[in-house]
Amino acid sequence: MNKSSILKKTSQVGLLTLLSRGLGLIREYLLGRYLGAGMLSDAFFAAYKIPNFLRKIFAEGALSSSFVPTIVAIIKGKKNAKELTSRLMTLSFIAFEGTLIVLCLLMYLLADWVVYFAAPGFSPEKAAFTISLLRIMTPFVIFISSSALLAGAMQSINHFFVPAFGPVLLNIIFVGGLLLGIAYNLPVEYLCYAVLLGGLVNFLLHILVYWRFGFKFSPIDREAVNNFKQLLTKFFPIMFGMSIMEINLWVDTSFASYLADGSLSIVRYASRFVGIPLGVFAVAFATILLPHFSRINAYAPKRLSFYLYEATKFIFWVMAPITIILAFDAGQIFRTLFLSSKFPLDKVLQAQSVLIAFTLGLFFYSINKILLNIYYSKQDTRIPTVTSIISAIINLILSPTLMYIFKATGIGLATTISAIIQTGLLFYFLRTRHNFELFKLPALKFLKQYCWQLTIFMPLFWGIHWSVKQLIINFMPLSTNFLLHGVGYWLWDLPVMGCMFLVIYLTRKRFGLRIYFLD
């Protein structure tokens, strides 16, 4: 793929992810209205995080990052590429899904132990309710992991639409379940069944498209077994490296279970809002670059240094203003969308500070996705695994320490600090172990020019933002509550921020900013 194709496919996946995150925003709003921030929400989120955690670490991230480079290496230059892929898929399904079925059965039978591990601070009453919800949602991970395997085959031939549409479909069904639950005052168990239905429908969509692309499930031969062994040597190290965010979130919510009712929910809500820009741009960009990096490493490995430098610039260019905006609007997000009798003002203020703590690490969460893919394209799984272990240990140590001082906000700070340290380690080992050129002086020049651009335009748009608020207060007094403290706030705030991004984009060359993926 050339850079135009990369940007086009990133835009395609990004738009679908944006749609998914938009639906996710509606989902979070409805969850806040339906569950609030208390014992009920804590129990649901603790139960939901267990299959969702397995989905993230065992399915989506690890399978894509190990499966795609393996298939690309296997089928390179071969005419029977789909037949080779189909044989590998058969064996992968038997091995991975068979293992997951056994794992889910154990999780169902030992649900009380699983819940204790996920939320050790829960009271017996809260834990018992969580166990009943977990048992309903346990099969969800089987459907999602099957979809991830099928998506890996599609991504290897540069088809990204259906894998990116899957989360949209999941959110549509999730939101539908929430609307029914709110309309008919249904118990939370019905929402669990909606989650399960979403996983099933998503799997059916993937398998239909998989067949349509000419893939199938072919008999296993010796070559398929050898290819599968090659896949396994990468999968387990990658599983840990690609899932560090989910592992840290597991640690975060586990520690939050010791705090007051609603704290676990607040940590989860805050992490979801950080996940919106992370998924819409960084994950989409990394997904598109993975097969491209694998091909570049095969034909011109020295070019990877250049691609990493430009990808880093591009991610920083996008994420810097988003970080500022998200921190600026953190309070308004929870005040306008969540404030209610189930989500009182003290919870809103707590959620605001937790979101800001997570937001400070947005660039580092994003660039780590690219850095890990660089390592995996070079068939290096050892360094990502080691750095991920170090990052997880740091988070495990810092979370209780900072939580003691800052409560739930300390949990977010610990995650951010661990991500920063992992970024530094990944760059360091690329330079020392893989002889990457990091372009330090050009990077510092880019940073200086971009900071100068932001220094000029950010105060300007804050001034515009303040002026609009004053106009509403002085000339639209009857609509003040809706436009400043309700959902109507976003009717004018988002266009103002959109204009800011447009001005930053249009004036970038005047500040000497050159970005390969844009120019």
Cα-based distances in Å from 36 to 189, 243, 345, 357: 16, 28, 12, 21
Condensed to tens digits (0 to 9), the pLDDT of residues 463-498 reads 999 999 999 999 998 899 999 999 999 999 999 999
Determine the Cα–Cα distance for residues 9 and 173; give it in Å rounded to an integer: 26
Window from 23-32, 50-59, 339-348, 374-383 with minimum mean pLDDT:
50-59
Q: Would you give the DSSP letter of residue 217?
A: -
Determine the Cα–Cα distance for residues 80 and 435; give it in Å rounded to an integer: 36
Which pLDDT band holds residue 299 (cuts at 50, 70, 90)? confident
Determine the Cα–Cα distance for residues 172 and 195; give it in Å rounded to an integer: 10
Q: What's this model's pTM, rounded to 2 decimal places? A: 0.82
Q: State the pLDDT at residue 127.
A: 94
Whole-number average pLDDT of the chain: 87
Do residues 383 and 426 make contact, with C-beta atoms less than 8 angstroms apart? yes
Three-state SS at 384: helix
Do residues 164 and 12 make contact, with C-beta atoms less than 8 angstroms apart? yes
Three-state SS at 476: coil
What amino acid is encoded at 82 in this protein?
K
Of 223-227, 242-246, 292-296, highest mean pLDDT:
223-227
Do residues 262 and 345 make contact, with C-beta atoms less than 8 angstroms apart? no
Cα-based distances in Å from 58 to 45, 235, 327: 19, 9, 32
Which pLDDT band holds residue 91 (cuts at 50, 70, 90)? confident
Model confidence at 189: pLDDT above 80: yes
Q: What count of other Cβ atoms lies within 10 Å of the Cβ of residue 197? A: 17
Determine the Cα–Cα distance for residues 114 and 112; give it in Å rounded to an integer: 5
Model confidence at 111: pLDDT above 90: yes
Q: Would you give the DSSP letter of residue 276?
A: H
Q: For residue 175, which phi and psi values (nearest 5 degrees)? A: -65, -40
Do residues 412 and 274 make contact, with C-beta atoms less than 8 angstroms apart? no
Condensed to tens digits (0 to 9), the pLDDT of residues 385-420 reads 899 889 999 999 999 999 999 999 999 999 999 999
For residue 229, give both structure tokens.
């062994």
For residue 299, give both structure tokens.
């034909």
Three-state SS at 343: strand
Condensed to tens digits (0 to 9), the pLDDT of residues 1-26 reads 556 666 666 666 667 777 887 888 89
Domain extent listing, the chain: 3-438, 440-519
Determine the Cα–Cα distance for residues 73 and 76; give it in Å rounded to an integer: 6
Q: What is the average pLDDT across 89-111?
A: 89
- Name every residue whose Cβ is closer than 8 Å to that of residue 78 and which is 6 or more positions away in sequence: 84
Q: State the pLDDT at residue 240.
A: 65
Condensed to tens digits (0 to 9), the pLDDT of residues 37-75 reads 888 999 999 999 888 877 776 655 556 666 666 666 666
Comparing CA positions, the residue from 390, 397, 365 lying closest to residue 271 is 365
Model confidence at 172: pLDDT above 70: yes
Q: For residue 340, which phi and psi values (nearest 5 degrees)? A: -165, 180
